[in-house]
Every structure is written in C-alpha cells, then in structure tokens.
Amino acid sequence: MLLTVTDLRKSYPAGDNPVTVLNGVDLTLDAGQSLALTGESGSGKSTLLHLIGGLDLPDSGAIVLNGADIAGLDDKGRAAVRRGTVGVVFQQFNLIPSLRVADNIAFHARLAGRHDPAWAARLADRMGLTAHLAKFPEQLSGGQQQRVALARTLAARPQLVLADEPTGNLDEATAATVMDLMLELVAETGAALLIVTHSDRVAARLDRRIHLARGRVT
Amino acid sequence: MIRTVWSALWSQWRRNPLQLFTLMAGLALATALWSGVQAINAEARASYDVAAATLGEGQFAQILPSEGGAIAQETYVKLRRAGWLVSPVVEGRLAGVRVVGLDPLTAPGGLGPVRFAQGADIIPFLSGRGQVFGGAEALDALKGQTEADLILSPDVAPGTVLTDIGVAQRLLDMPGQITRLIVARTQPLGRPDLATVAPGLTLRPPQGGSDIGRLTDSFHLNLTAFGLLSFAVGIFIVNGAIGLAFEQRRPMVRTLRALGMPLGQLMGLIAVELVGLALLAGIVGVALGYLIAAALLPDVSATLRGLYGAEVSGTLHLRPVWWLSGLAISVGGTLAAGAGAMWSLWTMPLLSSAQPRAWAMRSGQAAAVQGALAVGLLAVALGLALTGDGLVAGFALLACLLIGAALLLPIVLRLVLAGAERLAKGPLAQWFWADTRQQVPGLSLALMALLLAMAANVGVSTMVSSFRLTFVGFLDQRLSSELYVTTDSAEQAAALVAWVTPRVDAVLPIQSSQITLAGRPTDLYGARDQATYRDNWKFLDAAADPWDQVAAGAGILVNEQLARRSSLSIGQTVDVAGQSFVIVGVYGDYGNPIGQAIITETVFHDLFPQITAQRFGLRLPPADVPALTRALTDDFGLPAANIINQAGIKAFSLGVFDRTFTVTTALNILTLSVAGFAILMSLLTLAGMRVPQLAPVWALGLTRAELGRLELVRAVLLAILTAVCAIPLGLGLAWVLLAIVNVAAFGWRLPMYLFPWDYARLVLFALVAAGLAALWPARRLARTPPTDLLKVFANER
Ligand SMILES: Nc1ncnc2c1ncn2[C@@H]1O[C@H](COP(=O)(O)OP(=O)(O)O)[C@@H](O)[C@H]1O
Ligand SMILES: [Mg+2]
C-alpha cells in the first residue's frame, strides 16, 4: 500500500468554535492506482489533499506514505516529502514566475535529484510546449501554464501525483485536452494519482472514486 | 465638496498607515540630517573662532595697550557703550599654566572648545566659585591654587586653561583689569575712532597665521555637500512613498473628477496636503537635527544658546534661520519628490483604466528610458570632468554623476544577477539569482538610497581623512619652528633677537611685503637659508635643489594658488620689483586665499630695505619650550598673547579633526540607518507581493525557514553589490570635491588619499544595515502559516 490515511481530523479556527472540516477520514491507495476525489465545494477536498501532500498539518490521525507517517513530521521532514515523494498540481499559480518555462519544468526534478533532460524534453514535446521553453510563465495562456505545471510534476517522477481541480480554471475544450494528457502520461510513469474533480467523465476513467461529505469519506 | 476631498485624501493614509509613516519618517530623517550637519558646521566654526581667540592669533583683530600693561575695565565699558563689539580677555600665568579668562556672553563663538562634563552646567561657570577648563596636566598644576571646579576638557590647548573672566581676574590677582580685547569681525557702522574713545590703545589687525578658519571653510563647504547628499538619500524614500501613494490614489482622483471636482482645485488641495505633511515632518526633523547636533557636540556654546536663546550676542539670528532653512528644505524636498507623481495625476486621462499600476513592475520600456538617461547623465559628467571649470560646473558634475549612477544601479544589478544566474549550478541557486533579479525593480529606490548614502560616506571619509593628512603635514611644514613670537615694534624686535639668539638653536625672521606678482596680489617672503626649510618643506613640483637656487639669489618659490591662477610653472621667469627670478618650486599653501612667493632673505633686504622682521620663528629643543616661554614673558616682558607654541596649534587642530571624525562617523551611521530604513519599508511594502512568488517554491519542497534565510541573504547580497558600486562612486565624489569644487572655490587642490580599511568598515556597516532591515520581513516570512501560502493556489479565496 502506497498511502494509508486513518481517522484524519482537521479543523480551522474561526471565531470561538473552530470549524471541523475533516472528521475522521480513512482512505487507501495502491502504487500505480488512480483515485477520483469528489465532493461539494467546501467539503474539504483541498484540505485533504494538502494534508496528504505534506503541505499542512492535521489535528490528529495518521497519513502513512511509503510506510512512514508524515503526520508527525516537522517542517523539514514534510519539505522532504514534497520534494521527493509527491508532486502536486494546483488549480492555478503553480509556476515560479522568475524562471523560464524550461527551468520551471526541470526545477522539481533537479531539486529531487532525478533530472533526466531527455525525459523532460519528451514531456515538453508531448505537452506541446517546445516552442515556449524560453518564455516566462506570465507570457503563457492558462492552459499552457497548467501543462507546464503538469510537465514539471511528471519530470520529477514522483510516486504519488496529487491534482486539485487542475483544469478548473480552463475552458471546457482546453480542460479536456489537458486532462487527457495528464491521465495518459501519469499512467505511463506508473505513479499513483489522486485527482480532485467535479467531472463524472474524468472520475469514470479512474480506477476508484470516493466522495467527501460532512468531513468523512462516503 | 472640499470636505469630501479632505476625507477621501485622509482615508487613504488611514488605510495605509505604513505609507504615511514611511513618508513622514523619511522626510523627518532627511531634514534631521540636513539640519544636524548645518548645526555641526555652525558649532565647529564657533570652536575655531574661540580657539583662534584664545591662541591669540588668527582671524580676529585685537585691541592692546600701546605702552604695555593692562586695560582698565572702565575703558572696556566705554568702548562697548560707544558701539564697539569687543570682548575682554584676561590672561596671565599661574603655576606655569597660561590662564585665559573670557567673557562667554560676548566672546565670538562662546567657549567653543570647552565641553561641559556630565553634571556640570552654566550657572557655576558664570557665578559662584566658577569653573576652570583645561587638559589634565594644566589642571594638575593648578590643584590647590584655586577653589574653582577644575573640569577636564581635552579640547583646550595644552598648557592653557580657560575660565570666566571674573574667575581669571581673581586667580591672577588682576581685579578690574583686562589684558586685551577681541574685536568681533563685523562692527556697527558709524562708531567713533578707537583713538577718540580710548587713547593709549592700539588696534592690531588680524594676522594671517595658520589660517585655520579659512582652511576649514573648504571643509565646511564639503560637509555641506554631504548634508545635501544625506538629504537626497531621505528624499529618495519620500519619493518612493509619494509615488506609491499617488498610484493608489488614481481611482479616487478619477472618481472625484467624475463627480465634478475641477482638476486644478483637486491638485491644489493635494499640494496643500503635501506641504502640511512636509511642515509637520520638517518640525520633527529640525528638532531631531538639533538633538543630533547636541548629542554630537555637547559644548558650551550650544548650551549657552539653549539657555539664553536670542539674548546671546552673535547668535541672535542663528536659530530662526536654522528652523526656517530646515522647514524650507523639507517642503522643497517634498514638492520636488512629489512633482513627478503630481504631474502624472495631472496628465492622467479621465477615462483610462482605473487599475492602479503595480509600482514595482515597471515596463521594459521604462527601464530602457532610465538606462538611456543614466548613460546620458554620466556622459555629461565625464564631459564636465574633462573640460568643466568653476564652482557651478563642479556642482553640476556632482549632480550628473550621482543621479546618473543612481539611475544606472538597477540596470547594473540586473545584468550582474543575470550573469550569476547563468553560472549557477543547482536549481536553488538558479532560482535564487532569478528571483533576486525580479526583486530589483521593487527595491531599486531603496537600493539607490543605499548607493547614495554609501557613496556620500566613502566620499566624505576620503575627504575628511585626506584633509587631515594634508593639513597635519602642512602644519608640520609651516609650523616647523617650536615657538613663534611677535613683537610690536622694530626696537622690540631688535631687542628680542639680541636677547633670544644665545638661548635658542636658530632665530628665523618672518618678513614679507605685499607686491603684485604676475598680475596678482602676492605676499612676498624673504626666507633665511636654513636647514629648517630644507628639511620640512615639500613641493608639489620643483626643479633640482630648489633651496640652493633660492639661496643663490635667482630662484623664487610660488604657492599653488598663484601658480594655478597665473599659469606659472617651473623654469618660468617672473619679475619682482624690477628684478627677474626663475621659478624653482611650487608648494601647497592650503587655506591661503592669495598668492605667496618666497625669495632668499638677502635679496629681499636689497629689494625692500625698509622692511624689518617683527615676527620670528624660534628653533629649540621641544623640552626647553616651557622654560623659554616663561622667560620670554617673565624676563623679557613679551605679552603671552605674542607667543605661539606650535605644539598647541597642532594639538588643537588635531583635536578639531578628531572631533570632526566622531561627527562624520556618527553621520555615516545615521545616513546608513536612513538607507536601512528605506530598505525595510520597501521590503514591507513588497511582502504582500512576495507570497505568490514564494509559495510555488515552498510547495516544491523548501521549508519556510529556508525561504526566510534566503530572503535575508538576498537583502544582504543586494547590499553588497550596491556597496561595490558605491565605492568607486564615492571615490569619484571625493575626487570631484577635492580636485574640482575645492579648486574652483579656494584655488588650491587637496591631494586625495585612499583609506581601504575605512571603506571596508563602511561596507560592513551597510551589510549590517541591510541585514537588520531584512531581519523582520524574513522572520515574518519564515512564520507565515502554511494556509496563507496555500491560499495562493486556491481559486475561490
Ligand atoms: N485557511 C483556512 N482558514 C479557515 N477556514 C478554511 C481555511 N481553508 C479552508 N477553510 C474552510 O474549510 C472548508 C473546506 O475548504 P476546502 O478544503 O478548500 O474545500 P474544497 O476544496 O472541498 O472546496 C471550507 O468551509 C473553507 O471555508
Ligand atoms: Mg478546493
């Protein structure tokens, strides 16, 4: 088992009584498996993704990734998880504004010590970014930016790819192309995939599907 | 309507208190630095004045009894009543110490070199037991001789103590008597002749002497330039704050105009608002400047002024001028800094986008314009340096150089950072350089302020230190005799030579005549052929064995001023009283406004038989100086004021310089603090923009602590790069001040020396300032909650 989440709880402070967002979430994911995470807006999908990605700390519960519980790690340990084990694609503003596209694509892989120029070039080619490698992120369209973010994540060959509505900001046609590319390439690298999505069409193409409501998986 | 506008204008400041604070603090600090420098200049001048007065030489005319003896107190009162601005001095010896009694309320410059020790104040000085100021040795000698408080004051010349005139009269047992009167430089018109009011007194005109006053004029000019520069540093901050505020005001201005407010009236109100803020900040600044000056120069004259305000003569007009000039420069600076922002509001089309432009993200086109402007200004500066002449050209050169360099700085920084990025190995290093480059536009105003602050510091340190080295060397050359004595008549001179010759190693007569040489007024000196000159004089340019050629009769030495103004050089021939001489040497003569030339004594006597020397330099072993001084006054009967101990003058001038060093070091630190403040304010302003730039890097596997550390390193690194640019700029500044402005203003050129350790220390200060400024923003970043960073990536929030 690549990922086992047990009884995960998280609340945010809001005035006198904190808002409980996750109230005992359990889930598992095998290596290479893909999972769709659905739920209404505000149901805590992003929160769950952030906790699994080592971006934030839960109040309680365990997140065992690769046999180690990352819920108990300090800042440094969680940074190492982000660097080496997972790759996250957010809805927007994924890219480092001061770096060119080519350097953005290579950044995560180089940080993780897994940079393979040939693989990065192939990803850029498959994403249709070859002509844009010397540009800065602000010179790209939203769809192009999301493809760069995807290429960057895949170039680093993480064991687990987390994607939080990666096409949520794109128009329908662009969203479909980006999503197709994503599913195809993730399958090619053999990484496990957890996507937050609203789309039944996308969810149907994945191995499993879970729904988040009232702080629990249903 | 107007009330609506006011509340709209004010609400902006209320929403951005940091901006208002930056504006006010920048302005107050700038004004404080400016007026602090002004105050220090004024105080230093007062110190020189009183030193010149106590040393009995220099710029002040004096009134002495024609027949020797003392002046009666009534005579002094009569002179004051008749309108003469004179100040009484009582002088004498007690236990081997020269006691000088002054009247602090009428003496020019009060008691300049005396500082009050902690706990002391003016009241006991003026009344009661009294206070006696002096160096440790002099005070030791007086122990048990007086019940006045002995107050250690290292600025007083060695072997001398200063005290109130009443105390001195008691100490010296000279009740109702005055030794001499110092004559203030400016006197009321229409006062009666000295002979009518007080027959039996003679007026001795001011003597050339070592020209401490005039030499230091140059120093003050340069210090004033420094004050202006410090002010410019502050104005950079103000400019940044106003620019940012006005950017954010655009939508509001548009709304007000759409509501029917005439643009002219709106701009008028904004101008009134700015002037009001400037006046407020100016008042704080002047007060702060006064505190700075008082902290740096806590001496009696400042205290006197503080206590007596307008009552102290000679300072009557000082304080209002001080306040007004401080306020004027604050308002002027604000309007200058705000002019650009006001102009762009004025020309803003009513219908263009209401989006405030992000001030940090200037377009590439603007960068190109800025670069072209910078290069143009520097080219003009170079042209002026090569061909320019005169004071105006010198200051224009300074302005072009500094503004051009400041504008060029961001461009240079970006180039350097781009180069570093290309050389970077790891992904983090690459990102670090790229990201640093991206920060340059947002930080450029603060970095320009740092550049100017550091350049001013390098320039002024170089200038002051060069000045000190030159001046001390020059004094060693000029004051090579151990004692200088002045006689009042030819008979006394002859008697003195006869009396003193067996008691010393050598007697060097000082004799001169006012002539016209190469068309310019010149003091011609006849020098005795003596080792003193050969050993001590240094030439800027000379033929072989200049003193031999002078001694042979046909050679003449000229000072730098004369050589420059009349384009004289070695080997040229000049006419003196119908006889021609070959120029064999040019020497530095710092502080002298007119030409000077030296020929040998024998030829001088042939040409000017009517002139006999009345001043003499005496060479003797330094250990014998005190004994001979005593013998000269006690046995020969020469007034103490007629004897100058060169060690005293040298010690005094070193004291002045050391004090000036303290002052400049303090000013250095203050200016750097202002620049550090500018960096802090810029970083805080940029902090909001930073989070989206840093969040992706954090998400990819850096810790917040690492990012915070890198922020700190980034600020320090930018400061280092700026410092590296500032050193050559500062040296350029020093060169312009020493080689162009000074020559234009005074006719002589100060040699420039380099002081690498001083510069290294300055760079260190700058790093500390930048590091301290970045510390808080970096800590804040390192403690940003993850949820704040994650908000960047979420759409809905
Ligand atoms: N930093 C935060 N502070 C306070 N409340 C938050 C914060 N982040 C999320 N929430 C709240 O937690 C709930 C879940 O948010 P989120 O995980 O973003 O949901 P989803 O991604 O499913 O739309 C929402 O009600 C949201 O308002
Ligand atoms: Mg979400």
| pLDDT tens digits, B320-353 | 667 788 888 889 888 888 887 788 777 776 655 4
pLDDT of residue B362: 46
CA distances from B621 to B73, B201, B618, B627 (A): 39, 36, 10, 11
From the number of C-beta atoms within 10 Å of its C-beta (0-12, 13-18, 19+), residue B739 rates as: middle
Mean of the per-residue pLDDT values of chain B: 80
DSSP secondary structure code for residue B534 in this structure: H
Amino acid at B570: I
Q: What is the SS3 assignment for B753?
A: coil
Q: Which of A46, A57, A75 sits opposite B794 (nearest CB)?
A: A46
Q: Work out how many CB contacts closer than 8 A connect A with B.
A: 87
Q: In the structure encoding, which two tokens stand for residue A204, read together? A: 């149907």
pLDDT of residue B113: 41
In this structure, chain A runs to a length of: 218
**Dist CA B797 CA B795 (whole Å):** 6
CA distances from B431 to A100, A105, B422 (A): 10, 13, 11
- The CB density around residue B320, as the number of other CB atoms within 10 Å, is 10
**Dist CA A153 CA A66 (whole Å):** 19
**Dist CA B460 CA B457 (whole Å):** 5
Task: Determine phi and psi for B615, rounding to 5 degrees.
Answer: -115, 150
The residue-averaged pLDDT of A92-98 equals: 90
pLDDT of residue B112: 44
| Model confidence pLDDT, tens digit, residues A149-163 | 999 999 999 999 999
CB A21 less than 6 A from any atom of ligand 1: yes
**Dist CA A193 CA A163 (whole Å):** 8
Q: In the structure encoding, which two tokens stand for residue B509, read together? A: 């007569």
Spatial contact of B520 and B558, defined as CB atoms under 8 Å apart:
no
CB B795 less than 6 A from any atom of ligand 1: no
pLDDT of residue B779: 93
Please indicate if any CB of chain A lies within 8 Å of the CB of B702. yes
DSSP secondary structure code for residue B567 in this structure: T
- Domain ranges across chain B: 1-58+215-355, 59-206, 483-620
**Ligand at shortest distance from the CA of A42:** 1
**Dist CA B350 CA B403 (whole Å):** 33
Spatial contact of A62 and A71, defined as CB atoms under 8 Å apart:
yes
Helix (H) or strand (E) holding B623: none
Q: Which of B427, B437, B796 sits opposite A98 (nearest CB)?
A: B437
Q: What is the SS3 assignment for A16?
A: coil
- Regions of chain B with pLDDT less than 70: 40-59, 67-68, 108-129, 154-158, 205-220, 222-223, 296-321, 349-365, 591, 652-653, 655-661, 663, 795-797
Tell me, in angstroms, the distance from the centre of ligand 1 to residue B591's CA: 76
Q: Where are the beta strands (DSSP E) in B56-96?
A: 61-65, 71-72, 86-94
From the number of C-beta atoms within 10 Å of its C-beta (0-12, 13-18, 19+), residue A91 rates as: buried
**Ligand at shortest distance from the CA of B789:** 1
**Dist CA B587 CA B582 (whole Å):** 15
Q: Both ends of chain B: CA-CA distance in Å?
A: 37
CA dihedral B612, B614, B618, B623 (to 10 degrees): 160
Beta bridge partners of residue B425, listed in sequence order: none
The residue-averaged pLDDT of A126-152 equals: 92
Please indicate if any CB of chain A lies within 8 Å of the CB of B431. yes
Residues 6+ apart with CB under 8 A from B696: A93, A94, A95, A96, B792
Tell me, in angstroms, the distance from the centre of ligand 1 to residue A44's CA: 6
Q: What is the SS3 assignment for B624?
A: helix
pLDDT of residue B377: 93
Mutate to test the pocket of ligand 1, among A11, A17, A46 (most ligand atoms within 8 A of CB): A46
* CB-CB under 8 Å, A57 with B428: no
**Dist CA B158 CA B646 (whole Å):** 11
A12 neighbourhood in chain B, CB within 8 Å: 787
Tokens 């250690």 belong to which residue? B152
Spatial contact of B704 and B712, defined as CB atoms under 8 Å apart:
no
